[in-house]
Amino acid sequence: MKAEEQKIKDARRGPLAPFPNQKSEATEPPKTPTSSCDSPNAAAAKQALKKPVRAKQAPRKKAQGKTQQNRKLTDFYPVRRSSRKSKAELQSEERKRIDELIESGKEEGMKIDLIDGKGRGVIATKQFSRGEFVVEYHGDLIEITDAKKREALYAQDPSTGCYMYYFQYLSKTYCVDATRETNRLGRLINHSKCGNCQTKLHDIDGVPHLILIASRDIEAGEELLYDYGDRSRASIEAHPWLKH
């Protein structure tokens, strides 16, 4: 009787619950409760909060080779070549100009005038820069033997002026004798120890020419002067103005 009563009680009670450590073979996992966030509207809101996806940009063009990256400055700016002439070119041009003036006999920028206490002299009619060619001391180019003979002859006539200029060229003594009257102006330039001109040798094809160049800047209206360089007692006695 007791056994039957126990069965009836168990039938009413239903199946027995498993023990804590006993796994249930037929139990299903509990369903996750659906919250309000899982609604369609909430899903759309989440999607809106997500970081926007950037649109794909067109790939940049690669540099057109190394030549464009390493272009020279001259590709953008033209090369400017200096129009200035070198010192050698300027000297060559000046030398040619002097050659032409000597060979042509042109004497420009000066005139003959009467100077108080001196007689004839030469006055500048234009400005001469320092180092610029002024005029040639033109005359007969002779060697020292002939020069001494002429000098002795000229000494016999006290009215004959001093127009002989001695110089050394290639270890040899020469003289330019400008005693003979001509229309050349170089022979009429007077003496002064503080002159504004100085003598210089200028050869053309191996022939020396005695020229005068400006030793300083010369203004128009100034008398052209140079130092004759003769300091001998006989010359000073004959021409006292050589002392000044």
pLDDT tens by residue, the chain, 244 residues: 555 555 545 545 555 444 444 444 444 554 544 444 455 555 555 555 555 556 566 556 555 555 556 666 666 666 666 678 888 888 899 999 999 999 999 999 999 999 988 899 999 999 999 999 999 999 999 999 999 999 899 988 878 877 999 999 999 999 999 999 999 999 999 989 899 999 999 999 999 999 999 999 999 999 999 998 766 666 666 666 666 6
**pLDDT given for residue 158 in this prediction:** 78
Structural domains of the chain, count: 1
Establish if 126 belongs to a structural domain: yes
**pLDDT given for residue 171 in this prediction:** 93
Establish if 139 belongs to a structural domain: yes
Bridge-partner residues for 166, per DSSP? 175
Q: How far apart are CA 227 and CA 190, in angstroms?
A: 8
Confirm whether pTM is higher than 0.75. no
Establish if 190 belongs to a structural domain: yes
Establish if 6 belongs to a structural domain: no
3-class SS letters over 176-241: EECCCCCCCCHHHCEECCCCCEEEEEEEECCEEEEEEEECCCECCCCECEECCCCCCHHHHHHCHH
Residue 137 identity? Y
**pLDDT given for residue 65 in this prediction:** 52
Mode of pairing for the β-strands spanning 190-191 and 164-169: unpaired
Residue 120 belongs to a domain with what CATH number?
2.170.270.10
DSSP 27-43: PPPPPPPPPGGGSHHHH
Establish if 92 belongs to a structural domain: no
**Whole domain around residue 227: which residue ranges?**
111-237
**pLDDT given for residue 56 in this prediction:** 60
Establish if 165 belongs to a structural domain: yes
Establish if 98 belongs to a structural domain: no
